[in-house]
């Protein structure tokens, strides 16, 4: 990754979590995506295997199938075992692939020293967490007054049972302590870092955030507004977590922000967190605007357009295969997406320069 530049304040963001000389060729992009797909597939397969091996499982200990009272301590143990298998397999594969690519230093995974320093990293994490929680907290408060949709089974269990100390042990394991650590190490530390080796930072940020949000498909099961709004809030949080990782060179702010976002709260404390988030947004309006400007500059690059068009084409092709009888409009849209992706590729600066590193339009500092 790039050597640390002069970075005296968090109020003037620069992208520093990216290689000094990235390889932006198509072959490198293809290999990076294949590697990430392999890691995600291994993690998913390990998760399904863990669900079969861990007994009693999470659903049983929470009483999801029997409508009995949840045993939160047993649930904590079950989900801890599942995470150990799921993320243990992913981390082992990440370390193996990293060793093969000679990416073994902490800085390659946003774990090294940051030019911001520890106090500023913590402050950035708190500020980010409060701002990132605004959409999700607004949704959770709104659903108390309007019928936005159906809660997930886990939400229903948590809201219909007392929050004693055993609940907080479970919440720490399944929500606001362990989950932020393992997910940020997976998605911002590894996936985002791996993608910026082959894509410009904006495309890497968008792609990693889309995949991260897509794996939270449980919110879309009911197909209602609540689920879609929650999914949108997950995507927003992923973009924010990735952006602060890119600009700080450390995954610590994202971990702290993720923890703040995931703390379960009742209506009163939730309203207080929302108010605090809005106040934080107002106080830091100028720095937030600078981060938003940097995000826009990073995302609106040829790599991002190519990546978005390819994803659209692949999604359309996948749906068509699953539907077996795709409508003509879908076929036309997919063909149009492929043509547009090809047109953008043919005129993109990184193709004209032979995919060489160090192009002047890169948004990195």
Whether 360 is in a domain gets the answer: no
Q: Which domain, by its residues, includes 265?
A: 26-300
Q: What is the pLDDT of residue 113?
A: 86
Whether 276 and 214 share a structural domain: yes
318: burial class by Cβ within 10 Å (0-12, 13-18, 19+)? exposed
Whether 331 and 218 share a structural domain: no
Residue 313 phi, psi (nearest 5): -65, -45
Query: Is 364 a residue whose pLDDT tops 60?
Result: no
292 against 157, higher pLDDT: 292
Query: Is 357 a residue whose pLDDT tops 60?
Result: no
Tens of pLDDT along 95-144?
A: 999 999 888 899 899 998 888 899 999 999 999 999 999 999 999 899 88
Neighbours of 142 (CB within 10 A): 13
Q: What is the pLDDT of residue 96?
A: 93
Whether 250 and 292 share a structural domain: yes
Whether 319 and 194 share a structural domain: no
Q: What is the pLDDT of residue 330?
A: 62
The conformation of residue 186, written as its DSSP 8-state character, comes to I
Tens of pLDDT along 79-98?
A: 999 999 999 999 999 999 99
Whether 21 is in a domain gets the answer: no
Q: What is the pLDDT of residue 226?
A: 86
| Residues whose CB falls within 8 Å of the CB of residue 7, separated by 6 or more in sequence, listed in order | 14, 16, 115, 116
Whether 275 and 305 share a structural domain: no
Whether 196 is in a domain gets the answer: yes
Distances (CA, A) of 351 to 25, 201, 337, 344: 8, 17, 19, 10
Please identify which residue in the block is written with the tokens 């143990």: 77
% of the chain surpassing 70 pLDDT: 81
Mean pLDDT, the chain, as a whole number? 83
Whether 51 and 186 share a structural domain: yes
Whether 10 is in a domain gets the answer: no
Q: Output the pTM of the full model.
A: 0.84
Q: What is the pLDDT of residue 8?
A: 47
Work out how many domains the chain is built from and give that number: 2
Whether 174 and 323 share a structural domain: no
Whether 200 and 333 share a structural domain: no
Q: What is the pLDDT of residue 331?
A: 63
Whether 296 and 307 share a structural domain: no
Q: Of 2-11, 38-47, 316-325, 332-341, where does the model show the most confidence?
A: 38-47
Whether 235 and 320 share a structural domain: no
Whether 124 and 234 share a structural domain: yes
């Amino acid at each position: 990754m790039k050597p640390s530049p002069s970075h005296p304040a968090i109020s003037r963001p620069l992208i520093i979590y990216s290689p000094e000389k990235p390889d932006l060729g198509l072959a490198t992009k293809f290999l990076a995506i294949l590697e990430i797909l392999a890691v995600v597939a291994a993690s998913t397969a390990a998760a399904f295997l863990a669900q079969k091996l861990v007994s009693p499982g999470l659903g049983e200990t929470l009483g999801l199938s029997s409508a009995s009272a949840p045993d939160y301590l047993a649930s904590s143990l079950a989900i801890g075992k599942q995470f150990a298998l799921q993320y243990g397999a992913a981390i082992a594969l990440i370390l193996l692939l990293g060793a093969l690519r000679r990416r073994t230093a902490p800085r390659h995974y946003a774990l090294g020293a940051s030019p911001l320093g520890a106090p500023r990293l913590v402050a950035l994490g708190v500020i980010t967490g409060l701002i990132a929680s605004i959409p999700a907290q607004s949704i959770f408060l709104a659903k108390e007054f309007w019928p936005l949709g159906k809660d997930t089974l886990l939400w229903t269990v948590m809201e219909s049972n007392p929050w004693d100390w055993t609940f907080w042990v479970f919440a720490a394991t399944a929500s606001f302590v362990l989950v932020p650590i393992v997910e940020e190490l997976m998605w911002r530390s590894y996936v985002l870092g791996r993608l910026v080796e082959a894509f410009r930072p904006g495309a890497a940020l968008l792609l990693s955030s889309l995949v991260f949000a897509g794996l939270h498909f449980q919110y879309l099961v009911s197909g209602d507004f609540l689920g879609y709004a929650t999914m949108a809030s997950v995507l927003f949080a992923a973009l924010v977590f990735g952006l602060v990782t890119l600009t700080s060179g450390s995954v610590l702010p994202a971990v702290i922000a993720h923890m703040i976002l995931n703390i379960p709260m009742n209506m009163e404390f939730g309203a207080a967190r929302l108010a605090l988030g809005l106040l934080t947004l107002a106080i830091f309006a100028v720095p937030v605007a600078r981060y938003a400007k940097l995000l826009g500059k990073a995302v609106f690059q040829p790599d991002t357009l190519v990546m978005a068009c390819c994803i659209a084409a692949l999604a359309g092709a996948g749906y068509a295969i699953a539907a077996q009888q795709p409508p003509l409009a879908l076929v036309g849209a997919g063909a149009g997406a492929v043509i547009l992706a090809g047109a953008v590729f043919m005129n993109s600066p990184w193709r004209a320069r032979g995919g060489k590193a160090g192009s002047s339009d890169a948004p990195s500092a």
